[in-house]
Structure 1
Amino acid sequence: MKALKYINILFVIALISSCDDQIYPELDDAPEILVVDAWVTDKPEDQVISLTRTQPYFDNSESSGVTGAEVYLTDNEGVRFDFVETTNGDYVWPYATETFGTVGNAYQLTVNVGGDTFTATSIKNRVPTVDSVTFKFENSLNFGEEDEFYLGEFWSRDIEGFGDTYWIKSFKNEEFLGKPSEINIAWDAGFSAGGAIDGLIFIPPIRDAVNPFDEKEGEEDVFVSPFDDGDSLYVELHSITPAAHNFLNELRIQTDRPGGFAALFDTPLSNIPTNIENSTSDALVVGFFCVSSVEGNGARLDVSQVPKEE
């Protein structure tokens, strides 16, 4: 029995040691695929649709834009919106005197490039207002030491009627919080269609997901307050389609991978479904098209105005 125990220990040691070997696999270059980044909003600014192509797995250089394409949107009333090519694969509909689109209208994206025609559709859905953005004081004990910190949250009520979906974007000191772990989406006032949370104030996990949680530079496992005195938080609610909600949820699953030993048990990587189709050939395409209504609000932290519970 002791001999069997020692054999098992040696086997485990050998297995752990084998994990230290580095391998450098040679991967065949895959054919380039068109990437369409077409998230159009009614914010009072130029709207940009970007066209690029995929790159080899180990190529870390910036992808080059696709030029010479024809890019435009048409709505269900027959109005056409031409996006003008500018630089490095960016195609722009210039904001002039009115914001883009009408709530309830359907829009079709058309991209003509290299003899192929790519199309997708989206509806511009409604969005509630962001009533306010506030801050709260919190403290906690970690390893015998008390951490004091400030959290931001937004206040908004989902519009009555099941099936509204949203992308909640947050900005700290005007910088977009765009990490995979910071993708914040909602179905009505909750997480998913099965939650049946309609017409209510967004639930706390969604309200609180506007906070950046970073570690102190050069120090692991050292908690940093999401906001300090004088920091600003701006929150935007983007109406999205259910298909866009599913796309963002899958994007978060596929990209929010911290690595380490736990990565062995992660969901295998896979391509994220797109709502864009090629109507002329078998050439593939990735990316997504969505038209959104946007409402936002913000605040700046003044610690002297935030109550602290005794």
Structure 2
Amino acid sequence: MKNNILKSILFTATFGALVACEEQIFPELESAEPVLVIDAWVTNRDQPQVIKITRSQPYFDEVLPTGVAGASVSVSDNLGNVFTFTEGATQGEYVWTPVGNVGFGTVGNSYELTVTVNGETFLANARMNDVPPVDSITFNKQEGTQFFDDLYFAEFWGTDLLPVGDAYWIKTYKNGQLLNKPSEISLAYDAAFSRGADYSGEKFITPIRTSINPFDEGADGSLLSPYSVGDSLYVEINSLSQEAFDFLTEVQLQTDRPGGFGELFSTPIANVPTNVRNVNASGSKVVGFFNVAAVAGNGRRFKSLDEVSRVY
């Protein structure tokens, strides 16, 4: 009995010491040589496509990384077509602009990215996979309680493609603004979350369909309704390669950190894999990713409470 009491006291003291440590510390990290970063997420949307080239910077820097000027950037497909990305007005951004109403690339084609910087050449390969349509968007109501007001949630509807092995990135725009917090990265493998779930060809499962809701708090810490009458919503499904799905899964794991005491038990930060390689295996290092996505989307404005489909 005494041993149990002693253990309890020791645990309480240790826990209290841990949670009481609120002093900010700024550890000195070893400096590292900047690494080339190639951010190449190209889609078939009928709009200019941008590839960003920067260099890595110290972890605690609070400014955007400096863009790399003077690079040569192009993407070629398996049919011999070459898409040249020219240096834009913003340093480090290289842009391809569609002619007419024809977007970039074709579903099923394979693509190779070529970037030349300071005499070094970097390559990456990707295939444009197909994507299912966003069939519709509905709004649902969560009845308020003494702790929160009525909440209005959105849900999109769509069905995964056959055969097995499709991967998607669901992007949500609320009132024209992309929801881009780490916690708002929404990924699907077939119609579920991960490989082996056996949901190929099915409707996207509920957590995927409702992942398009932002969860923000008011100044008093109260939960705000994800959507209100007058808000607009646009949902995109972007196709991913298997490697891109793994890359974004790892990005979410590394960036959506719990903070505070929970950080003690979270997965340690680590480098995220890349599909970009230096032609010279002993040359400069490179990070980043290249993916070519087909995109399907649908939008809706929340016009009135009469549009609410379900009440919970």
TM-score range relative to shorter protein: over 0.9
* 3-state SS in 2 of match to 1:206: helix
- 1:50-129 matched pairs, under 5 angstroms: 50-86=52-88, 87-97=90-100, 98-129=102-133
1:288 — aligned with what? 289
2:271 — aligned with what? 271
Displacement of 1:37 after TM fit? 0.7
- 1:199-278 matched pairs, under 5 angstroms: 199-216=201-218, 218-220=219-221, 222-278=222-278
Give RMSD over aligned pairs.
2.2
| TM-aligned CA distance change 1:18 to 1:82, over 3 Å | same
Displacement of 1:308 after TM fit? 6.0
Opposite residue 62 of structure 1, the aligned amino acid is L
1:172-219, Cα deviation, whole Å (9 max, x unpaired): 011000010000011111111110101111111000000000001x22
State TM-score, norm by structure 1. 0.92
- Give the share of equivalent positions with the same residue, in percent: 48
* 3-state SS in 2 of match to 1:243: helix
Indicate conservation of the 8 Å contact 2:258/2:266, yes or no.
no
Opposite residue 296 of structure 2, the aligned amino acid is E
1:94-124, Cα deviation, whole Å (9 max, x unpaired): 1222111011110000100012111100000
Displacement of 1:4 after TM fit? 6.0
* 3-state SS in 2 of match to 1:263: helix
Displacement of 1:24 after TM fit? 2.9
**What CA distance in whole angstroms lies between the structure 2 residues aligned with 1:14 and 1:138?**
37
Unaligned runs of 5+ in 2: none
| TM-aligned CA distance change 1:8 to 1:159, over 3 Å | closer
Runs of 4+ in 1 over 4 A off after TM superposition: 1-7, 307-310
| TM-aligned CA distance change 1:183 to 1:8, over 3 Å | closer
**What CA distance in whole angstroms lies between the structure 2 residues aligned with 1:90 and 1:40?**
13
**What CA distance in whole angstroms lies between the structure 2 residues aligned with 1:169 and 1:299?**
14
Opposite residue 90 of structure 1, the aligned amino acid is E
1:30 — aligned with what? 32
* 3-state SS in 2 of match to 1:273: coil
Opposite residue 223 of structure 1, the aligned amino acid is L
| TM-aligned CA distance change 1:308 to 1:51, over 3 Å | closer
**What CA distance in whole angstroms lies between the structure 2 residues aligned with 1:5 and 1:188?**
48
Matched, 1:133 2:133: no
1:47 — aligned with what? 49
Q: May I ask how many residue pairs the two structures share in their alignment?
A: 306
| TM-aligned CA distance change 1:11 to 1:239, over 3 Å | closer
* 3-state SS in 2 of match to 1:145: coil
State TM-score, norm by structure 2. 0.92
1:16-47, Cα deviation, whole Å (9 max, x unpaired): 48834543322222100011110000111000
**What CA distance in whole angstroms lies between the structure 1 residues aligned with 2:8 and 2:294?**
65
Displacement of 1:147 after TM fit? 3.5
After superposing the two structures, state which structure 1 stretch, 235-244 or 56-65, moved more.
56-65
Displacement of 1:136 after TM fit? 1.1
| TM-aligned CA distance change 1:5 to 1:136, over 3 Å | closer
**What CA distance in whole angstroms lies between the structure 2 residues aligned with 1:168 and 1:7?**
48
1:300 — aligned with what? 301
Opposite residue 289 of structure 2, the aligned amino acid is F
Opposite residue 298 of structure 2, the aligned amino acid is N
**What CA distance in whole angstroms lies between the structure 1 residues aligned with 2:77 and 2:270?**
33
**What CA distance in whole angstroms lies between the structure 1 residues aligned with 2:299 and 2:263?**
37
**What CA distance in whole angstroms lies between the structure 1 residues aligned with 2:84 and 2:6?**
74
**What CA distance in whole angstroms lies between the structure 2 residues aligned with 1:6 and 1:45?**
62
* 3-state SS in 1 of match to 2:196: helix
After superposing the two structures, state which structure 1 stretch, 12-21 or 22-31, moved more.
12-21
| TM-aligned CA distance change 1:308 to 1:183, over 3 Å | closer
After superposing the two structures, state which structure 1 stretch, 174-183 or 8-17, moved more.
8-17
After superposing the two structures, state which structure 1 stretch, 63-72 or 144-153, moved more.
144-153
